[in-house]
Structure 1
Amino acid sequence: MRVLIVEDESRVADALRTGLNAEGWSVDVTGDGNEALWYAEHHEYAAILLDIMLPGLNGYKVCARLRAGGDATPIVMLTAKDGEYDEAEALDAGADDYVTKPFSYVVLLARLRNVVRRAPARAPVIHVGDLVVDPSARACARGGDQILLTGKEFTLLEMLATHPGQVLSKRRLLEGGWDFAERPEPNLVEVHISALRKKIDLPYDRNSIRTVRGHGYRLVPDA
């Protein structure tokens, strides 16, 4: 899953990015309110962590504009303000939750998971042959066995599973699985696809992930 961090304090933004990456999230970061709107309008996010005090548009206005445009992405406001009127204004603008700085990362992560869990749209469980992929629970199983995947591995598998039989290029997999700022090398896709095969295919004598030379990869039901 991908989350957008809108925070103009680089120290806070970097710490959040590092922590969320370690939890398996893909993260985009901006410190400007107008850029935040662009990111939210052009990419799909599981949630947005939104600071209130921002250059360009402040967090209240960013949140209000997203809601006015029909964007229901869960939003957690981050702010140094702790007055009840500030909290009320954030919630009135359409935020799902509100966290005051300085905050506990453990608590913030729990709140983030909570707003994502409460989001009305739950992605359906995907079946590709006997391979089961649950995007909402970020869980994978085959033949009744739960398969433990890393965050990146699951993200790549989810992309392939939501387009069964279709060839996804390395570039598309890179764009969906890594942050824009990471400048990932194309061979990272090969490394993670190889790791996926060792977990979901080889132990079960399957060949679900097929390489289409010169084009990319596709996931097929393999009995």
Structure 2
Amino acid sequence: MVRVLVVEDERYLAEAVQTALRREAVAADVADDGEQALERLAHTAYDVVVLDRDLPGIHGDDVGRHVVASGTGTRVLMLTAAATLDDKARGFGVGADDYLTKPFEMRELVLRVRALGRRGATPPPVLEAAGLRLDPFRREVFRDGLHVPLSRKQFAVLEVLLAAGGGVVSAEDLLARAWDENADPFTNAVRITISGLRKRLGTPWVVHTVPGVGYRVGDPEDA
């Protein structure tokens, strides 16, 4: 799953971008200024930063330089109201990977974010266990050779479980890794998603509940 940090001091715009990304199953967090952005970047790995240049306090250019200097490979999509070629040159000069001028079409921003999330990345490995085969690059799941259509969230949850290599993943970890930071820790979204995932995968179940601990993927006889 692509994880994005939206750094924008115009709250209504930040929330609109966040909502548009979430609708496309992109996990998106929001920072209101440069200082908050640096704090979030220090604690969370992001694939893409959607970065307003004209931020209060720490300037967007300085945040962009920090992202590039970190060496994490995080991509930067710069947002600005300035549309001249010189302005764009300055944005690319601090390390931006792409540039979008306000106002913009939200659909275009989502497409650019997805493109940046894929750029330069090596295809993730195919995950296999208990007769399941999940291809993160092609977004496909098979059980015993038969294609299984999943919702975006079901796919994200199954990907986390398979990546655990048979280990138990708690509901809290699933929320942190398959949802975004604003997920309600008291929600029943994980239980509902697991239930729907089991139905899609069919019987006998290969997604097992470990009471009081979490969930794991294993052969039916391991239940």
- TM norm. shorter chain > 0.5: yes
User: Does 2:218 align with 1:220?
Assistant: yes
Aligned CA RMSD, in angstroms, stands at: 1.8
Q: Deviations over 1:40-72 (max 9, x none)?
A: 221122322111111232221111112112121
Q: Say which SS state the counterpart of residue 166 (structure 1) adopts.
A: coil
Hey, what does 2:182 align to over in structure 1?
Answer: 181
- Residue in 2 that maps onto 1:166: 167
Aligned to 1:19: 20
Measured in 1, the distance between the counterparts of 2:138 and 2:11 equals 31
Shift, 1:122, TM fit: 2.9
Q: Is contact 2:208-2:218 (8 Å) kept? A: yes
TM-score, normalized by length of structure 2?
A: 0.90
SS at match of 1:159: helix
In the TM superposition, 1:96-135 aligns within 5 A as: 96-135=97-136
Q: 2:68 matched to which residue of 1?
A: 67
* Greater mean alpha carbon deviation, residues 96-105 or residues 127-136: 127-136
Change (3 A) 1:146 1:94: farther
Query: How many residues are treated as equivalent by the alignment?
Result: 220
1:93 corresponding residue in structure 2? 94
1:99, 1:208 → 2: CA distance?
45
More deviation, 16-25/208-217: 16-25
CA offsets, 1:186-206, max 9 Å, x none?
421111100111112x1xx33
Which residue pairs with 1:152 in the alignment? Answer: 153
Structure 1 residue 32 displacement after superposition: 1.2
Q: SS at the partner of 1:133?
A: strand
**Of 200, 206, 209, the match for 1:208:** 206
The structure 1 segments of at least 4 consecutive aligned residues displaced by more than 6 Å after TM superposition are none
Provide structure 1 residue ranges, at least 5 long, that are not aligned to the other structure: none
Identity of aligned residues (%): 39
Structure 1 residues 159, 62: CA separation in 2 closer, same or farther (over 3 Å shift)? same
Q: 1:47, 1:221 → 2: CA distance?
A: 36
Task: Give the aligned partner of residue 45 of structure 2.
Answer: 44
